[in-house]
Amino acid sequence: MSNANHNHQLGADYGLDTWRNLHIDQQPTWANHADFDATVAELSSLPPLVFAGEVDSMREQLAEVAEGRAFLLQGGDCAETFEGATAYKISGRIKTLLQMAAVLTYGASMPVVKMGRMAGQFSKPRSSDTETRGDVTLPSFRGETVNGFEFTPEAREHDPKRMLRGYHTSSATLNLVRAFTKGGFADLRAVHQWNRGFTSNPAHERYEQTADEIGRALKFMEACGVDFDALKTTDMYVGHEALVLDYERSLTRIDSRTDLPYDTSAHFLWIGERTRGIDDAHVDFFSKVRNPIGVKLGPTTTAEDALALIDKLDPNREPGRLTFITRMGAKNIREKLPPIVAGVQAAGAQVIWVTDPMHGNTISVPSGYKTRRFDDVLDEVRGFFEVHDALGSFPGGIHVEMTGDDVTECLGGSDAIDEEALADRYESLCDPRLNHSQSLEIAFLVSEYLRNR
């Protein structure tokens, strides 16, 4: 029996294919493409990108977050690109995440679970199926595992073979993530080295001061005879929005140790605001796999919605299994979030609460650029902490679109970007990202809130 056929037969035993008969949104239109069946068969036979044991380790660490003893940091590209999967760009994102984590760990005296929004963030939901420029209408760009960004009929065709390139690009990215985090690069004694190659700015200089303090603390501990093995490497997990179910289903494997299904495309997967319908395909499929699962919750979410998602995705009330990533917008966070959190608390459920201060604060400026005001991002983070402080719940994490590059995509910050500067280095294919300096500023703000709790 081929691996693909074996995978399909096992799927029937675990209900992994019941989603095919349910309502589904935001999917490619490639089912009748000549290469579809062969592509799915090949994906189904390829090695896993992550391993079930790694997934279990992440879920155990997330249980610590759910209990209020650790903090979750998620960061990375809005939409990865195949061409952007270079050692230079990937290392820049990893270095920035390590810096943010060091600031958070040192400032808050709390372990930080680190997750890159990378090695799979190649598909994007869109508000419209088509895009019109002048008198030409073509399918919208849905991320590079589906179609191309160039505005031509050929590029915008939904091509299933792109899933294979997405797999191999993710594999190469994961190789680098593992090499950096396990090969000495992430040694906490190298905190100063993570700043090299970045443009000097106020946040960069503040980080240097923190790195000095960390260095002095480590020298003190070394003089006391403390063993540094735990500081030489770190765990960095990867996650993405699990949008294209043909891809996710093809990479789902039955673990030989536990005889349970794991989606091996990533350690952590989240369901988007547009695809979280309780009776829809995405929620059904991810209720069947053992990965930790996130769900994006926008301002229309009710406490009843949240409780229904808990019953479906975390029926056994397992700490670390379910994360709610709230994306309310700075204007809504203080009003819309409290009833949801209070409803979940009243039901006795234990989820991880994470703020996504990016997606609810997107604006367009007269020049045509889509951007975010950094002050709005900061305000949503503040509102998130205020709500949880008032209710006695734990603000468990932050989820940001960021890059290690000195892009000019979000307005403001200590090294201020104005509207005229947006054109200087606006490189995102979808949503605007925080640059290196703005990412560090967010980390300092969050560490202060955690320290003051």
- What is the chain's pLDDT, residue by residue, as a tens digit (453 residues)? 345 555 555 556 799 999 999 999 999 999 899 999 999 999 999 999 999 999 999 999 999 999 999 999 999 988 899 999 999 999 989 988 999 999 999 988 999 999 999 999 999 999 999 999 999 999 999 999 999 999 999 999 999 999 999 999 999 999 999 999 988 888 888 787 787 777 777 887 888 888 888 888 888 888 888 877 777 889 999 999 999 999 999 999 999 999 999 999 999 999 999 999 999 999 999 999 999 999 999 999 999 999 999 999 999 999 999 999 999 999 999 999 999 999 999 999 999 999 999 999 998 888 888 889 899 999 999 999 999 999 999 999 999 998 888 887 888 887 778 888 888 888 887 788 988 888 989 999 999 999 888
End-to-end CA distance of the chain: give it in Å, rounded: 57
Q: Are 93 and 76 in contact (CB under 8 A)?
A: yes
Region of 76 (left: φ > 0; alpha: ψ -120 to 50; beta: rest) is: left
What was the pLDDT predicted at 292?
98
What was the pLDDT predicted at 231?
78
Q: Are 295 and 271 in contact (CB under 8 A)?
A: yes
Q: Show the CA angle centred on residue 62, arms to residues 213 and 379, nearest 5°.
A: 65
What was the pLDDT predicted at 1?
33
For the chain, give every domain's residue range. Answer: 18-186+233-452
What was the pLDDT predicted at 7?
54
Residues 235-271: tens digit of each pLDDT: 999 999 999 999 999 999 999 999 999 999 999 999 9
Provide the β-strand partners of residue 297: 326
What was the pLDDT predicted at 294?
98
- Rounded CA separation 208/218 (Å): 15
User: Binding site for Mn(2+), residues?
Assistant: 78, 359, 401, 431
- Rounded CA separation 368/371 (Å): 9
Residue type, 407: V
Provide the β-strand partners of residue 434: 402
Q: Are 19 and 279 in contact (CB under 8 A)?
A: no
CB 158: neighbour CB atoms within 10 A?
17
Provide the β-strand partners of residue 352: 323
Q: At what angle do helices 36-45 and 161-182 cross, to 10 degrees?
A: 30
- Rounded CA separation 327/45 (Å): 36
Q: Which two tokens stand for residue 306?
A: 């949240």
Superfamily classification of domain 18-186+233-452: Aldolase class I (3.20.20.70)
Q: Which two tokens stand for residue 191?
A: 């905190």
Residue 199, CB half-sphere, CA atoms under 13 Å: how many? 11
Backbone angles phi, psi at 196, to 5 degrees: -65, 140
Among residues 210, 199, 232, the alpha carbon closest in space to that of 444 is found at 210
What was the pLDDT predicted at 184?
81
Q: Show the CA angle centred on residue 266, arms to residues 260 and 269, nearest 5°.
A: 85
Q: Which two tokens stand for residue 38?
A: 């062969």
Q: Show the CA angle centred on residue 23, arms to residues 270 and 116, nearest 5°.
A: 10
User: Binding site for phosphoenolpyruvate, residues?
Assistant: 117, 273-274, 296, 327
- Rounded CA separation 432/359 (Å): 10
What was the pLDDT predicted at 61?
98
What was the pLDDT predicted at 422?
85
Q: Are 275 and 243 in contact (CB under 8 A)?
A: yes
CB 26: neighbour CB atoms within 10 A?
20
320 secondary structure, DSSP code: T
Q: Are 330 and 381 in contact (CB under 8 A)?
A: no
This prediction has a pTM of 0.93
Residues in the chain, overall count:
453
User: Binding site, residues?
Assistant: 78, 117, 273-274, 296, 327, 359, 401, 431
442 secondary structure, DSSP code: H
